[in-house]
């Protein structure tokens, strides 16, 4: 790799939190453009908080976050969408009274000229959504909602997709489906940074794994290496 | 037959007139609530402001409408809508936006809007005087009498020119709003923000733009409602006193946050008002001979006197808050 290539995301010594209290106490994270990064760790480790800091939903008090070499910390989310980031929150990730299609259209709000082409792509990628396109998203099952949420974020053709526990509360069937989709999205050239509770399954598809504890990096390695590391297994993967 | 005509004139027409006015006002209240999550008490005064702008413009150019064959006041309405939309955006920038930027609780915005009410009312009074004034400055208010083609129908159905404009403008406004909310990119974004403001922001929707658009629409609709009411009766600087309660009742009856609910709520309140002050004696009179002798019909059989009309929306408001606080269309609870 040439030395001029900049990582997709480069977070250095990130401190941040809500209302003056820091939850993140110096997190470092580097992800290349074609990689899947997975953040795991115990409850309260700051996993989702880190994701929110990257997406500008949380004030970064110290350190910096670079997207393709450009500092982006504390930019508002709508500017980050413009710069190629997509974010799928864990909860409340659809517009319940809008139809499935309107949900997807909102994802391309900043690129209205893309709507037609991207809708066709998303429907091809998530066929169940096409059948339900006129139904309010609030009436869908959890797994289908997750598809709407991911589809919405993909409508803007992001170069980096942030997923906050995309399989939380889903049945094993849907869980596998979502992991498969994440792999496919990545194969299409989209960098992925996701927080997951199902650490083993997630690390299995991860190019990079970040184990956080108490708002700091505990282990950082390839997904496979972390899975093989007995220390990681003992403390964070339940033996 | 004449009784039926009396019913149409006094309930159907007059109920539709107040229903339309309340509906258009309530849409504004409901839109503002769904985007900014606070009850905007100064809304009725924005309605008065819109009507006052029409009055000002009509007084300045009294003959402007004659050449086109429409009352000058109706011709000036689009201009007044623009001015009121600008006022609404200006009020938001000056008073509400700084409060939101501080992250205050909704109740602070509500109290702020009471302050705006007092400012607006004072300003309008300062320039318009305290008396009532007709918006028909140089024009004549046409009255249409439609005779019914039935034998024995002596009384005609009476509709005034401003009432016809009112029905037409209401239908146009509601259809335009429907198309805006369901077909346009901004309208859908507005519904999205009402559903989930954080996700709207995360989708790249500029929430400041949506807030401004909401004020523009609410302001323009307020100007329509205030003007239509002033055309039907007269312009008064304290119009808002008689509008505030019904439009909030209408918004809550319809389910706060539901534009279509607000329309339904407006008509429920409008018709409830007119039915409550309607003299039912008139409808029972034809059956007078078949009633038992001991039952003498009182000459006035209205539920409440006209001067107490305002208690009707108040009663509806209390009833709906007690029995169905989310309104007919499952809105949010204020």
| Residue carrying structure tokens 């009384």 | B155
Res. A1: pLDDT tops 50 = no
Q: Do A97 and B195 touch (CB under 8 A)?
A: yes
B233 touches chain A (CB under 8 A): no
A98 touches chain B (CB under 8 A): yes
Assess contact for A6 and A177: CB atoms under 8 A. no
Q: Tell me whether strands A59-67 and A9-18 are parallel, antiparallel or unpaired.
A: antiparallel
ipTM higher than the 0.95 cut: no
The 3-state secondary structure of A197-213 reads: CCHHHHHHCCCEEEEEE
The 3-state secondary structure of chain B reads: CHHHHHHHHHHHHHHHHHHHHHHHHHHHHHHHHHHHCCCCCCHHHHHHHHHHHHHHHHHHCCCCCHHHCCCHHHHHHHHHHHHHHHHHHHHHHHHHHHHHHCCCCHHHHHHHHHHHHHHHHHHHHHHHCCCCECCCCCCCCCEEEECCCCCCCCCCEEEEHHHHHHHHHHHHHHHHHHHHHHHCHHHHHHHHHHHCHHHHHHCCCCHHHHHHHHHHHHHHHHHHHHHHHHHHCCECCCHHHHHHHHHHHHHHHHCECCHHHHHHHHHHHHHHHHHHHCCCHHHHHHHHHHCCCCCCCCCCCCCCCHHHCCHHHHHHHHHHHHHCCCCCCCCECC
DSSP-assigned letters across all residues of chain A: --TTPPPSEEEEEEEEEETTEEEEEEEEEEE-TT-EEEEE-STTSSHHHHHHHHTTSSEEEEEEEEETTEE-TT--HHHHHHTTEEEE-SSS-S-TTSBHHHHHHHHTTT-GGGHHHHHHHHHHHSHHHHHTTTSBGGGS-HHHHHHHHHHHHHTT--SEEEEESTTTT--HHHHHHHHHHHHHHHHTT-EEEEE-S-HHHHHHT-SEEEEEETTEEEEEE-HHHHHH-HHHHHHHS--
B184 touches chain A (CB under 8 A): no
Q: What is the pLDDT of residue A162?
A: 96
> Which has the minimum average pLDDT: B74-83, B147-156, B202-211?
B147-156
Average pLDDT over residues B319-332: 81
From its phi and psi, is residue A214 left (phi > 0), alpha (psi between -120 and 50) or beta? Answer: left
Average pLDDT over residues A198-223: 92
B103 touches chain A (CB under 8 A): no
Residue A3's pLDDT band (cuts 50, 70, 90): very low
Q: How far apart are CA B237 and CA A205, in angstroms?
A: 69
Report the gap between the CA of A184 and the closest CA in chain B (Å): 22
For A48, phi then psi, to 5°, come to -65, -35
Closest CB to B202 among A77, A98, A112: A77
Of the candidates B31, B1, B49, B40, which has an alpha carbon nearest to the alpha carbon of residue B238? B49
Q: How far apart are CA B78 and CA B84, in angstroms?
A: 10
Domain assignments of chain B as residue spans, ordered by start? 2-323
Burial of A22 (0-12, 13-18, 19+ CB in 10 A): middle
Closest CB to B205 among A57, A103, A109: A109
In chain A, the residue whose alpha carbon lies closest to the alpha carbon of B181 is: A98
Res. A4: pLDDT tops 90 = no
A81 touches chain B (CB under 8 A): yes
Domain assignments of chain A as residue spans, ordered by start? 1-84+159-231, 88-157
A107 touches chain B (CB under 8 A): yes
Q: What is the pLDDT of residue A2?
A: 43
Q: Which residue has the higher pLDDT, A1 or B91?
A: B91
- The number of beta carbons lying within 10 Å of the beta carbon of residue B276 is 19
Report the gap between the CA of B293 and the closest CA in chain A (Å): 59
Max mean pLDDT range (A190-194, A198-202, A226-230): A190-194
Q: How far apart are CA A101 and CA A113, in angstroms?
A: 16
Q: Which residues are within 8 A (CB) of A202 and not within 5 positions of it... i.e. 6 or more apart?
A: A38, A40, A179, A194, A196, A223
Max mean pLDDT range (A69-73, B85-89, B127-131, B312-316): B85-89
Of the candidates B232, B235, B238, which has an alpha carbon nearest to the alpha carbon of residue B51? B235
CA torsion through residues B149, B155, B161, B164, sign: negative
Assess contact for B232 and B163: CB atoms under 8 A. yes
For residue B192, the chain A residues in CB contact (below 8 A) are: 95, 98, 102-103, 106
Chain segment B122-148, per-residue pLDDT in tens: 999 999 888 888 888 877 788 888 887
Chain Cα centroid distance, residue A20: 25
Q: What tokens does B198 get?
A: 């954080």
In total, the C-beta contacts within 8 angstroms joining chain A to chain B are 64
Chain Cα centroid distance, residue A30: 14
Average pLDDT over residues A134-159: 95
Res. B333: pLDDT tops 60 = no
Assess contact for A134 and A100: CB atoms under 8 A. yes
Average pLDDT over residues B149-169: 86
Res. B58: pLDDT tops 70 = yes
Q: What tokens does A208 get?
A: 């990079």
Q: Do B200 and A112 touch (CB under 8 A)?
A: no
Q: How far apart are CA A86 and CA A163, in angstroms?
A: 8
For residue A82, the chain B residues in CB contact (below 8 A) are: 204
CA atoms within 13 A on the CB side of B107: 0
Chain segment A26-84, per-residue pLDDT in tens: 999 999 999 999 999 988 889 999 999 999 988 899 999 999 999 998 899 989 999 99
CATH of B2-323, picked from 1.10.3470, 1.10.3680, 1.10.10, 3.30.200, is 1.10.3470
Q: Do A95 and B206 touch (CB under 8 A)?
A: no
Closest CB to A97 among B191, B201, B202: B191
Q: What percent of chain B has pLDDT over 70?
A: 97
Res. B187: pLDDT tops 90 = yes
Q: What is the pLDDT of residue B331?
A: 65
Average pLDDT over residues B186-201: 94
Chain segment A93-102, per-residue pLDDT in tens: 999 999 999 9
> Which has the minimum average pLDDT: A149-153, B6-10, B267-271?
B6-10
B195 touches chain A (CB under 8 A): yes
Res. B108: pLDDT tops 90 = yes
Q: Which residues are within 8 A (CB) of B107 and not within 5 positions of it... i.e. 6 or more apart?
A: B38
In chain B, the residue whose alpha carbon lies closest to the alpha carbon of A149 is: B199
Q: Do A109 and B202 touch (CB under 8 A)?
A: no
Closest CB to A112 among B185, B191, B196: B185
Mean pLDDT for all residues in chain B: 90
For domain A1-84+159-231, the CATH superfamily is: P-loop containing nucleotide triphosphate hydrolases (3.40.50.300)
Q: What tokens does B188 get?
A: 């859908």
Q: What tokens does A113 get?
A: 């000229």
């Amino acid at each position: 790799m040439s030395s001029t290539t900049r990582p997709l995301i480069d977070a250095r010594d990130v401190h941040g939190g809500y209302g003056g209290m820091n939850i993140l106490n110096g997190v470092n994270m580097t992800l290349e453009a074609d990689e899947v990064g997975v953040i795991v760790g115990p409850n309260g480790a700051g996993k989702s908080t880190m994701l929110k800091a990257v997406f500008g939903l949380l004030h970064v008090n110290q350190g910096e976050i670079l997207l393709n070499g450009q500092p982006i910390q504390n930019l508002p989310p709508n500017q980050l969408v413009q710069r190629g980031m997509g974010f799928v929150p864990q909860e409340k990730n659809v517009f319940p009274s809008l139809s499935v299609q309107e949900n997807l259209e909102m994802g391309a709000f900043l690129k209205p000229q893309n709507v037609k082409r991207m809708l066709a792509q998303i429907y091809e990628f998530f066929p169940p959504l096409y059948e339900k396109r006129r139904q309010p998203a609030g009436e869908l099952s959890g797994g289908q909602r997750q598809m709407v949420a991911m589809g919405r974020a993909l409508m803007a053709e992001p170069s980096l997709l942030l997923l906050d526990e995309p399989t939380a509360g889903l049945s094993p069937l849907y869980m596998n489906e979502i992991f498969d989709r994440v792999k496919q999205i990545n194969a299409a050239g989209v960098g992925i940074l996701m927080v997951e509770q199902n650490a083993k399954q997630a690390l299995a598809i991860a190019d990079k794994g970040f184990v956080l504890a108490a708002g700091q990096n505990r282990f950082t390695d390839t997904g496979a290496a972390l899975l093989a590391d007995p220390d990681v297994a003992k403390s964070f993967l339940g033996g | 037959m004449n009784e039926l005509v009396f019913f149409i004139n006094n309930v159907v027409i007059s109920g539709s007139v107040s229903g339309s006015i309340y509906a258009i006002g309530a849409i504004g209240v409901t839109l503002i609530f769904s985007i900014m999550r606070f009850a905007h008490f100064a809304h009725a005064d924005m309605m008065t402001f819109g009507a006052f702008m029409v009055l000002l413009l009509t007084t300045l150019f009294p003959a402007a409408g004659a050449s086109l064959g429409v009352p000058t006041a109706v011709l000036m309405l689009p201009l007044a809508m623009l001015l009121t939309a600008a006022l609404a955006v200006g009020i938001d920038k000056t008073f509400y936006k700084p409060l939101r930027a501080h992250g205050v609780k909704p109740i602070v915005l509500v109290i702020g809007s009471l302050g705006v009410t007092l400012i607006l009312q004072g300003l309008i009074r300062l320039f318009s005087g305290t008396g009532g004034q007709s918006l028909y400055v140089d024009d004549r208010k046409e009255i249409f009498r439609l005779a019914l083609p039935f034998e024995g129908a002596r009384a005609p159905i009476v509709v005034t020119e401003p009432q016809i404009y009112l029905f037409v403008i209401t239908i146009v406004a509601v259809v335009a709003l429907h198309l805006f909310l369901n077909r346009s990119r901004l309208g859908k974004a507005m519904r999205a923000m009402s559903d989930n403001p954080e996700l709207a922001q995360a989708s790249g929707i500029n929430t400041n733009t949506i807030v401004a658009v909401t004020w523009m629409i609410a302001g323009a609709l307020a100007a329509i409602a205030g003007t239509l009411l002033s055309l039907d009766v007269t312009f008064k600087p304290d119009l808002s006193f008689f509008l505030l309660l019904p439009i909030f009742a209408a918004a809550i009856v319809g389910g706060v946050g539901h534009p279509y609910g607000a329309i339904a709520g407006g008509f429920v309140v409008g018709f409830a008002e007119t039915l409550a002050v309607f003299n039912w004696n008139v409808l029972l009179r034809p059956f007078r001979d078949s009633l038992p002798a001991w039952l003498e019909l009182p000459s006035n059989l209205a539920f409440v006197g006209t001067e107490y009309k305002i208690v009707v929306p108040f009663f509806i408001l209390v009833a709906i808050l007690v029995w169905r606080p989310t309104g007919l269309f499952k809105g949010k609870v204020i």
